[in-house]
């Protein structure tokens, strides 16, 4: 049976790479985004790959619009099997230079967009007792960096809301999978004048920079092989470990992120915070010469748990050996 996926922010960058990844596997793909032209172009590209595709113009910060989008997908493509909450918005500036409206907008898109998208999907998944929701998060949601605190706060909120929701669904025995994919710096359109920038310098993706198609591979893996968490790229894995074991060390590393994110001088950038950025449907950003093309650099929570259990088993064996040696048993 043909499966159906909904991808918010699916007409550019990671979202477009993910839309094409599902289409290559024969999935029906519904894309939710704001720019009419990119939506039409994306829909045509996906249909040219031989699958049914549906482009829906909607702002993920609009709860009603997302619920209506989910209903349209159900009517025109059939039951939603997977919903990917990928849409985000950001501003690059010191915290004190961000206005209340900008904080609010980043939060509405990046956090509430995941909440509303998830609830829109659950209205159909819960009665059927099946389905998968994939939340796209970031290493910045685990370990905040300077100049992106509104985005970091929204991603942190999305992570914790998802954890609470997961417990509620497990209590209900809903039969629904919730996965979170944590991403590193990715060579996507975010770094091509899409993020609002008030620093007076061009935003650059700090090394190492990963291919958006790697993120798409991890997201598709989560759809086919649900895992609680997936960490993409070595910086994401290391960031999660350092933040858990040595938060002060994370503070020291993060401090260097101020200069590491900024390049040559340039005028302030309006970005796509309140209106869609112009331009065609495309995947790659401006850092192609520094992009790592690895196809499978990600770690799942199942692999992490296996390592932890193996370590605990070795520790237990060592303690038992020590006790036996000292007691003569």
Q: Tens digits of per-residue pLDDT, 102-140?
A: 999 999 999 999 999 999 999 999 999 999 999 999 999
Return the pLDDT at 26. 98
Three-point CA angle 242, 207, 234, nearest 5°:
40
End-to-end CA distance of the chain: 60
Return the pLDDT at 243. 87
Q: Can you give the pTM of this predicted structure?
A: 0.90
DSSP string, 214-229: HHHHHHHHHHHS--SE
The count of other CB atoms within 10 Å of the CB of residue 163 is 13
Query: 8: which strand partners?
Result: 32
- Measured CA to CA in angstroms, residue 47 lies from 8, 50, 303, 314 at distances of 18, 5, 36, 53
Cα separation, 210 vs 1, whole angstroms: 33
Cα separation, 288 vs 300, whole angstroms: 26
Return the pLDDT at 4. 98
Query: 206: which strand partners?
Result: none
The rounded Cα 229 to chain-centroid distance in angstroms is 11
Return the pLDDT at 272. 94
Q: Can you read off the two tokens belonging to residue 33? A: 């985004």
Q: Can you read off the two tokens belonging to residue 66? A: 């997302």
Cα separation, 238 vs 176, whole angstroms: 29
- Measured CA to CA in angstroms, residue 262 lies from 5, 197, 235, 258 at distances of 36, 10, 18, 7
Return the pLDDT at 244. 87
Return the pLDDT at 25. 97
Return the pLDDT at 324. 46
Return the pLDDT at 171. 97
Return the pLDDT at 235. 85
- Residue 270 CB partners (closer than 8 Å, separation 6+): 196
Pick out the chain residues at pLDDT < 70. 293-296, 301-329
Domain spans of the chain, in order of start: 4-296
The CATH code belonging to domain 4-296 is 3.40.50.720
Provide the b/e sequence for 261-286 (b: ≥16 CB within 10 Å). bbeeeeeebebbbeebbeeebbbbbb
């Amino acid at each position: 049976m043909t499966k159906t996926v909904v991808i918010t922010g699916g007409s550019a960058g990671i979202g477009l790479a993910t839309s094409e990844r599902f289409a290559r596997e024969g999935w029906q793909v519904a894309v939710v985004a704001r720019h009419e032209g990119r939506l039409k172009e994306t829909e045509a590209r996906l249909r040219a790959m031989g699958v049914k595709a549906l482009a829906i113009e909607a702002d993920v910060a609009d709860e009603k619009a997302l619920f209506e989008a989910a209903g349209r997908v159900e009517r025109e493509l059939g039951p939603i099997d997977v919903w990917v909450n990928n849409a985000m918005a950001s501003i690059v500036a010191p915290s004190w230079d961000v206005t209340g409206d900008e904080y609010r907008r980043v939060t509405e898109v990046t956090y509430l967009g995941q909440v509303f998208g998830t609830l829109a999907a659950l209205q159909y998944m819960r009665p059927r007792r099946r389905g998968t929701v994939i939340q796209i998060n970031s290493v910045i949601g685990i370990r905040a960096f300077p100049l992106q605190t509104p985005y970091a706060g929204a991603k942190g909120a999305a992570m914790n809301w998802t954890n609470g929701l997961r417990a509620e669904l497990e209590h209900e025995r809903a039969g629904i999978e919730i996965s979170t994919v944590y991403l590193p710096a990715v060579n996507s359109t975010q770094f091509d004048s899409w993020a609002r920038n008030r620093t007076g310098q061009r935003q650059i993706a700090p090394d190492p920079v990963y291919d958006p198609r790697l993120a798409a591979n991890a997201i598709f893996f989560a759809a086919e092989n649900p895992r609680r968490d997936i960490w993409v790229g070595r910086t994401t894995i290391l960031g999660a470990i350092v933040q858990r074991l040595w938060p002060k060390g994370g503070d020291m590393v993060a401090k260097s992120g101020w200069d590491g994110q900024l390049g040559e001088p340039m005028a302030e950038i309006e970005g796509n915070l309140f209106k869609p950025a112009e331009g065609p449907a495309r995947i790659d950003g401006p850092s192609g010469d520094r992009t790592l093309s690895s196809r499978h650099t990600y770690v799942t929570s199942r692999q992490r748990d296996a390592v932890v259990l193996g370590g605990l088993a070795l520790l237990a064996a060592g303690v038992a050996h020590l006790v036996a040696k000292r007691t003569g048993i």
